[in-house]
């Protein structure tokens, strides 16, 4: 079983839709959770990071963490064609040094 599971998609939605992207994880020791957006042939760009369970909002983006279910989500409201990218979840554990595990990434297409 992978430490972090993420559906690779692709996920195709119409412009204006609410997008839900999800990751599950197996190790309850993960403490810090991040979402990155990666456009084709570019490096990942940090969208949001959070530590605690609950919701964190930034503009059209909401990150949700449920530590009891080992489940994290990223919601995108009023999706735009410019949101078309690969979205990677990532989570960090303190093992004496910090270790970050990335999900496989979900490819999102927002159609105009």
Partner 1 sequence: DTEVTQTPKHLVMGMTNKKSLKCEQHMGHRAMYWYKQKAKKPPELMFVYSYEKLSINESVPSRFSPECPNSSLLNLHLHALQPEDSALYLCASSQLGGLDGYTFGSGTRLTVV
Would you say 40 or 82 has its CB closer to partner 1?
A: 40
Q: Residues 6 or more apart from 76 whose CB is under 8 A from it?
A: 18, 19, 21, 60, 61, 83
- The bridge status of strand 32-38 relative to strand 85-94 is antiparallel
Tell me, by CB under 8 A, how many residues bind partner 1.
22
Q: How far is the CB of 68 from partner 1 (least distance, A)?
A: 21
Distances (CA, A) of 97 to 52, 66, 89: 20, 24, 20
Would you say 5 or 75 has its CB closer to partner 1?
A: 5
CA distance 92 to 42: 22
Would you say 11 or 104 has its CB closer to partner 1?
A: 104
- By CB under 8 A, the residues from 82 to 101 that bind partner 1 are 88, 90, 92, 97-98, 100
Tokens, residue 32: 């810090």
Tokens, residue 20: 């839900």
From 45, 57, 66, 78, residue interacting with partner 1 (rule: CB under 8 A): 45
**Chain residues that interact with partner 1, rule: CB under 8 A:** 8, 32, 34, 36, 41-46, 49, 51, 88, 90, 92, 97-98, 100, 102-105
């Amino acid at each position: 079983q992978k430490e972090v599971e993420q559906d690779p998609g692709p996920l195709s939605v119409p412009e204006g839709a609410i997008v839900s992207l999800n990751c599950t994880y197996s190790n309850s020791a993960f403490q810090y959770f991040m979402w990155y957006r990666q456009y084709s042939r570019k490096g990942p760009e940090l969208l949001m990071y959070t530590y605690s369970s609950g919701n964190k909002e930034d503009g059209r983006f909401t990150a949700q963490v449920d530590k009891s279910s080992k489940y994290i989500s990223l919601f995108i409201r009023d999706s735009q064609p410019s949101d078309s990218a690969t979205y990677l979840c990532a989570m960090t554990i303190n093992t004496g040094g910090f270790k970050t595990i990335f999900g496989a990434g979900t490819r999102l297409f927002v159609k105009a």
